[in-house]
A and B are shown apart, each in its own frame.
Chain A
Amino acid sequence: MQGDDWVIRIEQYHDWWFDNAVEFLGHLLERLGVDVVWDGGISFEPLDEDEVERLVEEIERLIEVKLKYPKESDETGVIEKKWRVYLPLTASNKRGDYKYKYLSGFLGKEPKLKKDIITLLLSDQLNGQKKKKICEICSKSTVLGLIDVTQGVYPVSNNNLESLNGVRSMKTSFKSCLLCNFLGYIEWLDRGIPFTWYMDKRGNSKTDYAYYLFPKIENIQDMHQFKKRLRDDILNEKKYSNVVPISNIKKERYLTDEYSLLLLLFEKMNENIKNLEKWDDLVCDEWAKLLIKKGELRYSYLEEIHIPQIERFKKIFEELLPYSDFVSHSFASPLKEGASKEIIQRLTKEDQYLMSKGIIMDDFKTFSKAFQIRQNCRLSTPKDALDYLIYTWRCKDGTI
């Protein structure tokens, strides 16, 4: 690269969503063979026509992989691809009797239009033009117009606040530049983000929810290395989650909460990390948890997870996989006859959440709550695994 005039530089936002998006764009460009410099953001030479075309092709491919899932049709038995409708990306429209779903925003645009937008943003066409408008996300001036920030651009945006609270005259729209809009949308295609989707088996889709976990790493180069490992060796795209349990069970299991997802992710990382001396450097202890609940509007909630003393997992993993060997084999069991299946399922889900949360957050109090007898049900767990876990956790020399 030959100096600042010749490179496009996208700076880090210091925000959980957009930092991951910048890293993901850098990853996509590296896949195309573009030389990317990671330094407080990403820098690269303006893309030529061929590179833009290949980038659009990659985005189109990822839309199929990330935003759709295979589902067997109840009537014909044919496997069809369905949209992940819980994401705030799909909108529905009625044409006659048929209600169809389509992608909104940048991802829903025709490939040619995508190409034009990317050419405008990532080649040097805008170089030297006078910039007037200021983006409310990146605070930078732009020559192009500003666009409303929707949940597709930033999942916790309150853009539709007026429709949520019923006061239609209340306008809280944020405006963003085209680059922030583009980055926000493509982040949904990121394969380096662990997720789990819980769908009610009885077909009550209103109780659907999904958890997405975003690593919070300040140095973008470190974040790139971390997510590269996740993409290459650990995450594996499936219908309900991209973190697949280690056991050889053919049927895909539901991970019903964020802490179980995190615990299973660490187990898989532990398997993958060969050099155990660097264990705590290679595992991330700060995460942003995004919960999306499906409804007419997609409700989204954000919470930070800070894991205390992450190095303690190294010792636990030596003998036991806390999720695969223990939490996933624990279930609520009735003390007397008469407990309904729904109660047992709900208590199992709650107990697994409490156990995983207790282990992740190093909080024995939360862990022990899972063992309380509720609604005439007690928790059934594997004894050896329970012994090992409690002794390594609470005993001075940590041995049985």
Chain B
Amino acid sequence: MVQFEQNEMETMKNSGQVLGKVADHYISDLYQLDRTRTAEEFIKQLKNICLRAISIGKKSDEMVYTKPLADLMDIINKHKENYDEIKDIVLVYATFYLGAIKYSRTRGD
């Protein structure tokens, strides 16, 4: 199992946060990310999610920063052989933040 650097972990965590925000609007993007089978497919789907994030920012007042996703692509290129492990960590955080957003909204209601 690969051990990651501290800054890489931070990037994965922040990417999870961005993915959680996007998944709040488009949950199917998260499912598609989960279904990717190669590093290339994973990066391609991340690019789609970046575009989604920009369009969410334009439609609503909420800004979604996509820098963590760009950094994540660099990490994936660095650890291409073990992209699967990166995917697992990112998806754990993404689901966690998605849940937190949904929960805070129900509390707000």
Contact = CB atoms under 8 A, between A and B. Distances in A.
Given A378-B102, A379-B99, A380-B103, A394 B92 contact: no
A372 interface: yes
Interface string B56-99: 00000000000000000000000000001100110110011011
Nearest to B102: A335
Contacts of B6: 395-397, 399
Given A364-B1, A368-B89, A391 B9 contact: yes
Counting chain B residues whose Cβ lies within 8 A of the other chain, the interface size class is: 20 to 34
B34 interface: yes
A396 B3 contact: yes
A373 B27 CA distance: 10
A372 B95 contact: yes
Given A364-B85, A396-B4, A396-B6, A371 B102 contact: no
B62 to A, nearest CB: 19
A386 interface: yes
B4 A378 contact: no
Contacts of A394: 1-4, 9, 85, 89
Contact of B88 (A365, A373, A396, A399): A365
Nearest to A363: B1
Contacts of A368: 88-89, 91-92
A377 B34 CA distance: 16
Nearest to A366: B88
A379 B96 CA distance: 7
Contacts of B102: 335, 378
A381 B96 contact: yes
Nearest to B31: A373
B5 A378 contact: no
A390 B89 contact: yes
A348 to B, nearest CB: 14
A372 B91 CA distance: 8
Interface of B: 1-6, 9, 13, 27, 30-31, 34, 84-85, 88-89, 91-92, 95-96, 98-100, 102-103
Interface of A: 333, 335, 362, 364-365, 367-368, 371-373, 378-381, 383, 386-387, 390-391, 394-397, 399
Given A383-B96, A383-B100, 13 more contacts: A333-B99, A335-B99, A365-B84, A367-B88, A368-B88, A368-B89, A371-B92, A378-B99, A380-B99, A394-B2, A395-B9, A396-B6, A397-B6
21 contacts: A333-B99, A335-B102, A367-B88, A371-B91, A371-B95, A371-B96, A372-B91, A373-B95, A373-B98, A378-B99, A381-B96, A383-B96, A390-B89, A391-B9, A394-B89, A395-B3, A395-B4, A395-B6, A396-B5, A396-B6, A397-B6
